[in-house]
Structure 1
Amino acid sequence: MDSKKLKKILEERLKTKERQISYDKKQDKLRIESVKTNKGITLSLPGIVSRYETEKEKAIDDVVYYIDQALIVMDKSQNLSGKEHQIFPVIRSTSFPTETQDGKKLLYKDHTAETRIFYAVDLEQSYRLIDRAFMDNEGVTEQAIFEMAGFNLRSLTNERKKDVVADNTFYFINYNDGYDASRILNQHLLEEMADTAKGQLTVAVPHQDVLIFGDIVNNQGYDVLAQMTMHFFTTGNIPITSLPFIYEDGKLEPIFILAKNRPVEDK
């Protein structure tokens, strides 16, 4: 699979009378827009080609589904009335845009050197990131959004899958509900994991749909953590960061892990 072939496949599967598709050859990006609203999604084809190497047709199916759902949401108007229980925080990388393509400023808070917290209205099959113009129109304050999002996040289930490698224990939260990585904001969950850890507690959010805890008791555990985090980072739909975090004294510190060595804190 190469970009040229992928472009043709995506154009065939995404083309409708209500959409306009354009291609930026220089940046190798495909833009799909709604004719109705002129809003749309830009896809970087090399990243999808890379996913195709490991996931095959599933990679393309996921992209098509994501685009279809996102454009449906863009064509509809949303409001917050009656949706207070559907507001959630979402974790993104610090490189994620803080404005929409039409210049609206998104509501966000700084989190770590690698991550930011944005806020969204859940729409079941997709969600809409909350911008400040939307907040003003709805007459709601940012503090109210923060509180509702935090409350709703704490209501989510946090059951973990467990795996042990060379005496190091790894726990995975992977509900694919759009808020797996967001659970890193649940302070009670972090404290619970820290209390039960026998060694150093690490936390990773390589992409939106997974949260990884590592109870690291030896050097091999750090190597496994580094490889695992990088793998998830390169295969996820919405990558966040390939750097895991050490959790100590209620704080998250991003770390570099050198092969066969203990981590070095990212200052």
Structure 2
Amino acid sequence: MDSLKMKKELERRLASAERTIRYDREKEQLRIENKSNGKGITISVADIAAKWHTEKEKAINEVVYYVEEGLRAMDSQIQFPGHEKTIYPVIRSTSFPTETNEGVAFLFDEHTAETRIFYALDMGKTYRLLDLTMLEREGWAANRVKEIALFNARSLPTPLKEDHVAGNLFYFLNTNDGYDASRILNKGFLNDFEKKITGEMLLAVPHQDVLIIADIRNQTGYDVLAQMTMSFFASGHVPITALSFVYENGELEPIFILGKRRN
């Protein structure tokens, strides 16, 4: 399916009297907005068309679900009181927008050279990123929201699947709750895990729905992790970074793995 056919299919599935849909032919992007508030979501038609060749209907179904839930969340009123337990941090790439389409700054913190921490209110099937206007309206201090979010992140379960490749150990956290990558902020979890590592501890958050922890014991392990991370990065709905991180003394340092060498 080419981009033009994908555009028509997405327009058909997302059409609603309560929405406007615009297409940017040059960028091959579709913009879907709620008429009630002008807020919306922009999706890359070319990227979805490319995924369709390997994932078929799954690629379309997932993006339609993402857009539907996202628009529904944008049309809902944010109410903080009583929802403190549903505020979480979310990891995004440094290229992710730091403000809404209306020019309102999101609440975020710098994390690494590759990542930033944003904050969100969980709304069940989706979540909504918090911006400064929401905090001002509810009278919430930014630092208080951040503290609550990080505390909640530490309470998230950390089930892991283990895989052995060429003498190296790889652990995968993939609950699909929207906060898998956020577990990288749980230093207690990482510090405890570090004690069982016998090689070098590397981490990766290629997209929001996976955290990879690697016990690298030989040169082949670096290559495997690089290929694995790139594959996850290319297939994720919310890509973060294809780079990995060395974890040492409680700190994360991005590294670029090329061939059989680390730089």
Please give the secondary structure, in 2, of the residue aligned with 1:145.
Answer: helix
Does structure 2 retain, via aligned residues, the 8 Å contact 1:193–1:201? no
Q: Using the alignment, how far apart are the partners of 1:54 and 1:183 within structure 2?
A: 29
Q: Using the alignment, how far apart are the partners of 1:211 and 1:112 within structure 2?
A: 16
- The reply to whether residue 59 of structure 1 matches residue 59 of structure 2 is yes
**Aligned twin of 1:194:** 194
**Aligned twin of 2:164:** 164
Does structure 2 retain, via aligned residues, the 8 Å contact 1:99–1:106? yes
Please give the secondary structure, in 1, of the residue aligned with 2:112.
Answer: coil
Question: Tell me, which stretches of 5 or more residues in structure 2 are unaligned?
Answer: none
Identity of paired residues, percent?
A: 54
Does structure 1 retain, via aligned residues, the 8 Å contact 2:108–2:116? yes
Once the two structures are superposed, residues 86-134 of structure 1 have per-residue CA deviations (whole angstroms, 9 ceiling, x without a partner) of 0000000000000000111101000000000000000011111111111
1:71-82 to 2 correspondence within 5 Å?
71-82=71-82
Q: Using the alignment, how far apart are the partners of 1:38 and 1:178 within structure 2?
A: 25
**Aligned twin of 1:27:** 27
Q: Using the alignment, how far apart are the partners of 1:24 and 1:42 within structure 2?
A: 10
Does structure 2 retain, via aligned residues, the 8 Å contact 1:34–1:75? yes
**Aligned twin of 1:114:** 114
**Aligned twin of 2:256:** 256
Please give the secondary structure, in 2, of the residue aligned with 1:159.
Answer: coil
Does structure 2 retain, via aligned residues, the 8 Å contact 1:243–1:256? yes
- The reply to whether residue 9 of structure 1 matches residue 27 of structure 2 is no
1:182-221 to 2 correspondence within 5 Å?
182-221=182-221
**Aligned twin of 1:37:** 37
Please give the secondary structure, in 2, of the residue aligned with 1:207.
Answer: coil
Shift, 1:262, TM fit: 2.9
Q: Using the alignment, how far apart are the partners of 1:228 and 1:89 within structure 2?
A: 25
Does structure 1 retain, via aligned residues, the 8 Å contact 2:78–2:134? no
Q: Which runs of 4+ in 1 moved over 2 A?
A: none
Q: Which amino acid aligns with 2:136?
A: D
Once the two structures are superposed, residues 145-188 of structure 1 have per-residue CA deviations (whole angstroms, 9 ceiling, x without a partner) of 11100111111100100000011000000000000000000001
Q: Using the alignment, how far apart are the partners of 2:230 and 2:52 within structure 1?
A: 17
Please give the secondary structure, in 2, of the residue aligned with 1:26.
Answer: coil
**Structure 1 residues 223-232 or 70-79, which shifts more?**
70-79
Q: Which amino acid aligns with 1:220?
A: T
Once the two structures are superposed, residues 32-86 of structure 1 have per-residue CA deviations (whole angstroms, 9 ceiling, x without a partner) of 1111111110111121122222211111100000000011111111110110000
Q: Using the alignment, how far apart are the partners of 1:2 and 1:83 within structure 2?
A: 43
1:124-139 to 2 correspondence within 5 Å?
124-139=124-139
Q: Using the alignment, how far apart are the partners of 1:215 and 1:222 within structure 2?
A: 10
Q: RMSD of the TM alignment (CA)?
A: 0.8
Does structure 2 retain, via aligned residues, the 8 Å contact 1:245–1:252? yes
Does structure 2 retain, via aligned residues, the 8 Å contact 1:93–1:241? yes
Q: Using the alignment, how far apart are the partners of 2:178 and 2:95 within structure 1?
A: 19
**Aligned twin of 2:89:** 89
Shift, 1:254, TM fit: 0.6
